[in-house]
Amino acid sequence: MLNSLRFLSSSLRYPQAARFGFLVSGLAIERRRRRLAQFWDPHLEQSKACQRSWLESCKPDGRLAVLGAGRLFDVATEDLCKHFSEISLFDADPQCLRYWKREYKNLRSDAVFFNHISDITQVLEQRQSSLRTFLRRSPEWNQALEFLRSLAASADSPESEFLLHGEYDAILSINLLSQLPVYWQHIAEIELVRIFGKKHVAAREDEWLEALIPSARALINQHLRDLARSRAKSILLISDLRYEHYYRDQQGGDVIEQIDALYGVELTNHSQLQKLFPEFDSQLCAQWDWHIAPLGRVRNSIGEKHRVASIIFSAKR
């Protein structure tokens, strides 16, 4: 009830964040974190432990950007604010502000904090409006798929929002990378449903998801490109690598399906990382499973785990 009221008032104040799915997803994260604490805690602790050991190699008193800060569940805020003199938090969900302000009060730190609430990719609004305009003019399914396939050119994408605020000494990208295409998928589905109807779009899910692959991959590449361009001295990237769905089939056998969370970008492949981050040395620090939706607890018939990795990039210069 309380959450419904909060959602309603946030939707009125932040209609775009509501339309893009940030409000609903944020509330779902909050609810699951509470209900599934025993399954989520090991992941949250592991994420924080990686940040603590990363700090040992970071120059003190610098400027830090935290990308995908969310509700700070997986952020080692106490340790970060002892180390950095300025911390900028980035997220698209305005409901996070409440959490950030509460944390600043509790921390009683000398660090200076900055809040940035907006789409970090800066492309979602433009993509939504060009897809909508196209669909209004040419409401043919196959043309819509062609248009989706053409929305890819990551070289043309604008700079991510965190590059617009000067240089940071260190950047923490925290469980954000794999999420970037999720919201774009949500937006594209809404636009397709508006023109073709729910039934039509649901029946052709494989087709439109396949057409969305280049533009989804472009968001992943844009984030990595901009981390590499950032001129930060040190970057900690924590991200899902793949999703694992597990369930029992009709014969009672155990089935596991693995889905690539990063559309072909292999963060565990050293030579791929060197190409993406030519001016950095990279080090894969840890990998673990985040049991995000245990079987029978969220969706009755399917359980879900995420394989997560943490990678440190240190500038060569």
Ligand X SMILES: C[S@@+](CC[C@H](N)C(=O)[O-])C[C@H]1O[C@@H](n2cnc3c(N)ncnc32)[C@H](O)[C@@H]1O
**Residues between 60 and 79 with contacts to ligand X, criterion CB under 6 A:** 68-75
φ/ψ (deg, to 5) at 173: -105, 110
Least separation in angstroms between residue 27's CB and ligand X is 11
Per CB under 6 A, 95 contacts ligand X: no
Cα separation, 23 vs 306, in Å, equals: 22
Beta strands 170-174 and 63-67: pairing type?
parallel
Nearer to ligand X (CB atom), residue 55 or residue 180: 180
Among 16, 85, 109, 179, binds ligand X (CB under 6 A): 179
- Can you name the residues that pair with 244 across neighbouring β-strands? 258, 305
Per CB under 6 A, 23 contacts ligand X: no
Residue of closest CB approach to ligand X: 70
Nearer to ligand X (CB atom), residue 71 or residue 233: 71
Least separation in angstroms between residue 20's CB and ligand X is 8
Nearer to ligand X (CB atom), residue 24 or residue 213: 24
Cα separation, 277 vs 110, in Å, equals: 33
Among 176, 227, 265, 293, binds ligand X (CB under 6 A): 176
**Residues between 26 and 55 with contacts to ligand X, criterion CB under 6 A:** 26, 29
Among 65, 120, 235, 293, binds ligand X (CB under 6 A): 120
Mark residues 199-228: x for contact with ligand X by CB under 6 A, - for none. Answer: ------------------------------
Residue with tokens 């492309």: 123
Nearer to ligand X (CB atom), residue 92 or residue 171: 92
Give me 106's structure tokens: 């509790």
Nearer to ligand X (CB atom), residue 72 or residue 211: 72
Nearer to ligand X (CB atom), residue 81 or residue 92: 92
Least separation in angstroms between residue 88's CB and ligand X is 13
**Residues between 181 and 200 with contacts to ligand X, criterion CB under 6 A:** 183
Among 46, 51, 77, 121, binds ligand X (CB under 6 A): 121
SS3 letters across the chain: CHHHHHHHHHHHHCHHHHHCCHHHHHHHHHHHHHHCHHHHHHHHHHHHHHHHHHHCCCCCCCEEEEECCCCCCCCCHHHHHHHCCEEEEEECCCCHHHHHHHHHHHHCCCCEEEEEECCCCCCHHHHHHHHHHHHHHCCCHHHHHHHHHHCCCHHHCCCCHHHHHCCCCEEEEECCHHHHHHHHHHHHHHHHHHHHCHHHHHHCHHHHHHHHHHHHHHHHHHHHHHHHHCCCCEEEEEEEEEEEEEEECCCCCEEEEEEECCCCCCCCCHHHHHHHCCCEEEEEEEEEEEEEECCCCCECCEEEEEEEEEEEEEECC
Nearer to ligand X (CB atom), residue 27 or residue 315: 27
Mark residues 100-119: x for contact with ligand X by CB under 6 A, - for none. Answer: -------------------x
Nearer to ligand X (CB atom), residue 119 or residue 191: 119
Interface residue list for ligand X (CB under 6 A): 22, 26, 29, 68-75, 91-93, 119-121, 174-176, 179-180, 183
